[in-house]
Amino acid sequence: MSTYGYTNNKTDKSFNVPPIYWLLFGLVTLFLVWAPFRVALFNGQNTNFEQSIYAAALWVAIIGLVTVGITITNKKWTNIDHLTIIIFLLPISYAISLISAASQYLAINMLIITFMYAIFFVASIYLAQQKQFNRLLIATITTISYIVVFFGLFHWLGNGPFINSLVKWLGAPTLDSGAYKDAVMSDSNGARLTSVFQYANTYAAYLMAFLFVAVFQIGHSKALWSKFVHGFMLVPIILSIFLTLSRGGLVLLPVVFVLLLVFLQPHKQLMWILHLAVSSIITFVILNPVTEAGLSLQKAFSASQSLTGWGYVLVSSIIAGGISFALEKWVSPVLEKATQSLSNKKWGNFLIPIGGALLGGLLLFLLISTNVKNVLPENIQTRLENINFEQHSVLERFTFYKDAMKVVKDYPVIGAGGGAWSALYEQYQNNPYTSRQAHNFYLQYLIETGVLGFAIFAVILVYIFSKYIRNYISDNEENRNDYFVYFIIAASILIHSILDFNMSYVYLGILVFICLSGMMTSVKAAPIKSKLKPKTIRITFSTVLSVTSLVVLITASTFISSANAYNKAIKTADTSNSYEEIISPLNKALSIRAHHPEYVSFKANLLIQVYKQTQDEAFYEEAEKLLTDTLKTEPTNKTLLMRMNALYSTKKLEKDIFEIYDSNKYRYPWDIEWYEQYMHISVLLASASLDDQAAKSKYLDVVISSINHINKGIEHLKTLPEGQLQGRKFEITPKVALHSGQAYYMMGQTQQAYDIMKAHLQKDLNDATNAELMTWYLAASSKLKLEDKANLSKLLQVNPDANASIDSILSMKVD
């Protein structure tokens, strides 16, 4: 007989549970099927990704309301139930961080996401407490992961359009070819398998988790067909890990493997090693032909080559599944008997993992540093050879982490709000890299919520893991096995998140919180002594969960409506020049989200264009107010700042433009384009202030200060480690040289003007900047009594009035 969600670990073989459990499980299952194919709900911090997250929030809110029906029936209140309250401290900490948020838009999105995590945590606890639903939930999660694996391989072997046609109705991003967008992504390393994630490293983390789930399920499954299926999946998963070309995945895989082995009895440890060794050997046999087939198929489809590739994959998987089945049937009992005495020793579980760690380290060494690597495809060899602490991705991550701590120093207590790294990193970066993710989930969380929020998260995480491990040690074998999959998935993804932004994929975040709740469910429920009656607590919590779910439901619904209206405005702008037709849906979007930066930027641009055409002040004033109000909540948004400058330029308000650049320069110390425009407007204002010595000096000093800043930055970049890439361009460009030369010239320092401009002359004088640079250079040359007839001749060919321009510069009043 069911005890309605509050008992724990007791055998309940019947499915005699209230229908509401089936409704909840059905909703969760449908969500878990849908979410991966929406780019795993990646929080990409722009309109391209946000609509999927809002749709997910709507779905999760409904799950929360259904869960309320279960909480009402919870007759007792235990230590597990208390955690369903405590988990809401996570979104509360994000709500507090709104006070100092660097971007209200990004922070609100992250607040919604953390509410989703909390609601899923609560719902999953109630499902996992029912043994039959716990098994169904694990089976669902595992099955979906296997689908994702084959979805990726279909794209690798050229069948992307076919397999994607089966899921594109879910809203999967689809190319003109019919394939899933970037399921195989090309970068400087070549083609990399990403499946639904569009990011190879996160896919590698996902694969690592479910590789260990598959190995565990081989031994845990009672049905013979199930053992074969999980064994069958080992080769596709290992193959996919290699095809991601993820060095972080290959480095952390043995770390997680050794950690998980410690939790197993010696004979199971040996079985894990055997299963993985056999499937790895089989994978190595087919790795070269399947890799080459995939690389070729990315360029042009060939049915015969695709079928050959599938032949390798399927035959080798069947062989691996058969061997795994045989190992479990005949070898496992022998090993269990042989290791019985070792199992009885306290240190018995540690002996094989230590040996396994040494063996794994030796294997990694052989693959990286010896000719053994020659058995691998060339692209994989190259990636393995670059595994060291001096290669650029490692050095860049260390730089991210150091820069992240600079942000924490300025926002120590409550953080800078959700999405803070994306909003602030340019201000704190050591060199001009581009990365809207900190590549470390924990540091990103610390930046966003400060020490307060991070401490709450850390305490919850440590509490759940410590409770799970202590219970695992004392529990019986059956109960251990029922919940160990949750531990495998959570540990794998959270450990890998030290090096990457896996948790920026909301689907993976939800998966982790499902697993945390499953781990907590394994703990024996103990009644909580409280002055409040369980009924009072139950009603109060149910009310809070109802209100929270309704707020998320309403918010998500309105945000979806807003996003739909914005998308309609974008599509209308592509086909119509009618201001009224475009502005109508856009105003609807803004009526819901008045300070959404992309909506505001789009409308401001429209208003600017209409003002230019009509000179109607109402359009100018509306654009100015819209941008001014939005910049109060989005002060770091460079696009909005540039829109404001574009607005000011329509009235030639150079001083206002200067103020934008001057007051925000600290936010973009490595943006060379920012400094080009900053120097340009300063020179213009100096030219207009030739009779006002104080004003002229003020603006020219800005230019000299800017060139000194750029030179200092260039020298700093020379100190970067040899293997680290500097990132974006940061150098003395023709524009920088031009404006510096102009400033020096107007200050009477003609030699300095001549020197910097001569050093950066360009051959292409059809470019306006290059021609102007040449003109000022020739003026400085003339003033220094130096002749450069060759360059003057070149300039005259593109600008017959060049001599007049030079004479105008020479007649300028200078110090």
Q: What is the pLDDT of residue 803?
A: 93
Residue range 647-689, pLDDT digits in tens: 999 999 999 999 999 999 999 999 999 999 999 999 999 999 8
Q: Which of 311, 318, 216 is nearest to 257 (CA)?
A: 216
- Separation of alpha carbons 42 and 58, rounded Å: 16
Phi, psi (deg, nearest 5) at residue 180: -70, 135
N-terminal to C-terminal alpha carbon distance within the chain: 95
Tell me the pLDDT of the chain averaged across its residues: 91
Residue range 402-445, pLDDT digits in tens: 999 999 999 999 999 999 999 999 999 999 999 999 999 999 99
Confidence (pTM): 0.93
Residue range 268-324, pLDDT digits in tens: 999 999 999 999 999 999 999 999 999 999 999 999 999 999 999 999 999 999 999
Residue range 19-44, pLDDT digits in tens: 999 999 999 999 999 999 999 999 99
Residues 6+ apart with CB under 8 A from 589: 562, 563, 565, 566, 569, 596, 599
Is 366 a residue whose pLDDT tops 70? no
Q: What is the pLDDT of residue 369?
A: 61
Residue range 469-488, pLDDT digits in tens: 999 988 888 888 999 999 99
Place of tokens 């040899």: 722
How many other β-carbons are positioned within 10 Å of the β-carbon of residue 535? 11
SS3 302: coil
Q: What is the pLDDT of residue 93?
A: 97
Residue range 203-260, pLDDT digits in tens: 999 999 999 999 999 999 988 899 999 999 999 999 999 999 888 888 888 889 989 9
Q: What is the pLDDT of residue 72?
A: 84
Angle (deg, nearest 10), helices 247-261 and 224-243: 140
Rg of the chain in Å (alpha carbons) = 31
Q: What is the pLDDT of residue 787?
A: 85
Cβ proximity of 37 and 170 under 8 Å: yes
Q: What is the pLDDT of residue 725?
A: 87
